[in-house]
Structure 1
Amino acid sequence: MSRKRPRKPIQPVDDATDKHGFQHFINIHVEDLRTRNYSELTIDNRHKYIRRFALWCLARGIGRPNEITKPILERFQRHLYQHRTEADKPLSFRSQYAHLSSLRAWFKWLARKNYLLFNPASELDLPKIGHRLPKAVLTAEEAEAVLAQPDIAEPLGVRDRAILETFYSTGMRRSELANLRIDDIDTERRTLMIREGKGKKDRVIPIGKRALSWITVYIESARGELLCNQAEPILFITNEGEPISPDSLTEYVRRYIDASGIGKKGSCHLFRHTMATLMLEHGADIRYIQAMLGHAKLTTTEIYTQVSIRKLRQIHELTHPADHERDASHPDELKATSDDEGGPDEDA
């Protein structure tokens, strides 16, 4: 069976036995999220951001949630805006939004459960965040250069080649790949079952023949050597026979991208962006891309239509009059005129 490393205990922010203190209500909230089947990642993030706010309040003599007012929340919002990391960089607006939205959800829950008489965060304005384009997207040639990096003469190299091929073919999230089980692969239909992806949703997606072939090679020739005679249902494992963590996947993929020398930075999500962009450029309907990526809203997928520039460039070249009405103002025409007039006589 899969073995999970024990988590380090988190120091409580105050006395958890105080029925009116921060830690007491944090614990109840976390337990309530679990009973409602929220993902552990969502619960961990919610706990982390509320805990930071509680520590900030306690440092300023604010000891209980029922003492919180909207002006206090606005002070904390300004604190986030002015905060600098160890690298002396400000928090991104996306990070500020994550902090404040967790607080707003917590206070809404406290008021709904009648732990508070009113919700002080009900009218808190969150920072506006836009839809950002991916920082980088690989071309097909660059993707192949990255895929060629693992040393397939070694079991770990075969495993890593199968991992990279799976990312490139399916665009799945790193957590989805880390949780992929052997019995989630349907070789006859060439599909993968993704269980409890983002939002606790299952989905079935296709996988390409080449990626499926590398998974088969990995299972038949390399996985047995890594298992160390242990029973493990998870597909991709470490050299100790344990499931690979998402953080380890990030490190492996980043290392291969850097080693390829393509000059672009990124990790697992870079292949997600690349798969979506290249499929769109080759004519895939955006709704099929939405299904592949597991996006709940089409607007999330539509960002890739902005990245997929090839078709837009082709339309621009075909229709923009400046590319069809060549005259003396065109650089090629100016160069041709200059050549006809001739330069200094070489024999002079």
Structure 2
Amino acid sequence: MTIKKQTNIDYKSLVAELGISIEELREIVEKKKNYIPSPHQQVSFVQILDEYINNLNRLGESNKRTTTTLVTYLNFLNRVKTFVIENHPHLKIYQLNEEIILTILEKSSPRKEAKLSINTVNKYMAIIRNLYKFALEKGYLEKDLRYKFSLTSVSTLPRYLNEDQIENVLKGALQKTYGYRKRAMLMFLLGTGCRVSELTNIRVSDFNVHEDLIFIRKGKGNKDRYIPIFKEVKTTVLHYLKLSGVHKWSPDLKGYLFCQDEGLVREKKVLERSVQKLVRDLFDSVDLGLDFTVHSFRHTFAVMCLKSGIKKHHLMQMMGHDDPKTTSIYTQLIPQDLKEEVMKHYPFPFEELLNDLI
């Protein structure tokens, strides 16, 4: 016996409202039954991820991506790939969501008791958004799905160290194993504004003591630049070189400035993650929160330069900024120093002053 499905839909009114016939409505329903997913729904997420990774490698080979950027992207994307293969092997490109990425990031916490910073989460979300931009441009998506991976707004004002914090951190570095090297690295960061990736790639010959210039090899943005060697940095680094086996600087020395295999060859450079761990340990020891990172040395350099009277366009060149607005951020930090200075020298109660005036 045929079972008729009861429905409350008034088909005559429906087709009249749509301006179509009953036959046309039936045709639409039949097409829905035999619906074939569009191409973007048939392509697996892992397939597109592999294509994106291959594209990143090509960009790296053509020097359109820095080594540091490439390593960051590939490390994270390979973790995503492993997680998806193990937990969602049939995942399609449109099915990935923020919850899956956050689950992956939760497994990447640097310490069990610590959470990833907002900036770190934003960095990884931005990588996924770039992947989806690639998928859209390649025609794997019918619409832009980057909105699914939101970025959290954070304060744009960078963190920098005051004089007491600098002194305590440098003293702490000196107490570590190979403290002379670790203190020299931090002094270098403070006195040059270099990124940690730039510090680890500098060679002895780049630190030109005759010209008092440091040659920075293709930092962020793939641009070479020169930074003047300030007296304190020069004294500290030359002392470190002497202790580590280089008694006289020479442009013929090709090894790394900061290295693990000390002497004249110097082929084993200090790793970025080692510098980051050192700085985190030192910051923890003086109660500086997670908002302070190794990049805070770069911010500190910028603020000290502006306070000493260096012009913004000169600082922009030393920092390797492409946009003047990036350099201008540091000018917003100086009013805080002004407030602290005023409160230090004029500790009188404001209410008493007002009463005297009245």
TM-score under structure 1 length normalisation = 0.67
- In the alignment, residue 50 of structure 2 is paired with which amino acid? N
Structure 1 unaligned regions, length at least 5:
1-18, 226-230, 334-348
Equivalent pair of 2:45/2:93 in contact (CA under 8 Å): no
- Asked if the contact 2:118/2:154 (under 8 Å) is kept, the reply is no
Contact 1:192/1:205 (<8 A) preserved? yes
| Residue of structure 1 equivalent to 2:70 | 43
Structure 1 pair 211–55 and aligned structure 2 pair: CA distance change class (3 A):
closer
Aligned-residue Cα RMSD (Å) equals 4.1
Q: How far apart, in 1, do the equivalents of 2:298 and 2:133 lie? A: 35
TM-score (norm 2): 0.66
Structural mapping, 1:1-348, within 5 Å:
21-36=44-59, 37=63, 38-51=65-78, 63=90, 67-69=92-94, 72-73=95-96, 76-78=97-99, 87=112, 93-114=118-139, 116=140, 118-121=142-145, 124=148, 126-135=150-159, 137-149=160-172, 151=174, 156-224=178-246, 233-239=255-261, 242-256=268-282, 263-264=287-288, 266=292, 268-308=294-334, 309-311=336-338, 326-328=353-355
- Which structure has the larger Rg? 2
Go from structure 1 to structure 2 and tell me whether the alpha carbon gap of 1:33 and 1:61 turns closer, same or farther (over 3 Å shift).
closer
Q: Distance in 1 between matches of 2:88 and 2:279?
A: 46
For residues 78 and 164 of structure 1, do their structure 2 counterparts lie closer, same or farther at Cα, with a shift above 3 Å needed?
closer
Work out the number of aligned pairs and report it.
294
The verdict on how the C-alpha distance between 1:68 and 1:279 changes in structure 2, with shifts beyond 3 A counting, is same
Task: State the SS of the aligned residue for 1:188.
Answer: coil
The CA distance in 2 between the partners of 1:113 and 1:315, in whole Å, is: 58
Question: Alpha-carbon deviation of 1:193?
Answer: 0.8
Q: Rate the CA distance shift 1:329–1:55 in 2: closer, same or farther, 3 A.
A: farther
Kept in 1: contact 2:66–2:219 (CA 8 A): no
Q: Which residue of 2 aligns with 1:336?
A: none
- How far residue 170 of structure 1 moved from its aligned partner, in angstroms, is 0.7
Q: Is the Cα contact below 8 Å between 2:43 and 2:93 reproduced in 1?
A: no
The residue identity in structure 2 corresponding to 1:181 is: R
Structure with higher helix content: 2
SS of structure 2 residue aligned to 1:192: strand
Please list every run of 5 or more consecutive structure 2 residues that lacks an aligned counterpart in the other structure. 1-41, 248-252
Distance 2:86 2:229 in 1: 52
Q: 1:23 to 1:141 in 2, by over 3 A?
A: same
Q: Secondary structure at the match of 2:240?
A: helix
The Cα offsets for residues 162-213 of structure 1, whole Å up to 9 and x where unpaired, read as: 2222112112111111111011112133111110211222111112112112
Deviation by residue 1:83-118 (Cα, 9 ceiling, x = unmatched): 85665877655444334332332233234334x263
Relative distance call for 1:128 and 1:264 in structure 2 (3 A) is closer
Q: Is the 8 A contact 1:81 1:91 kept in 2?
A: no
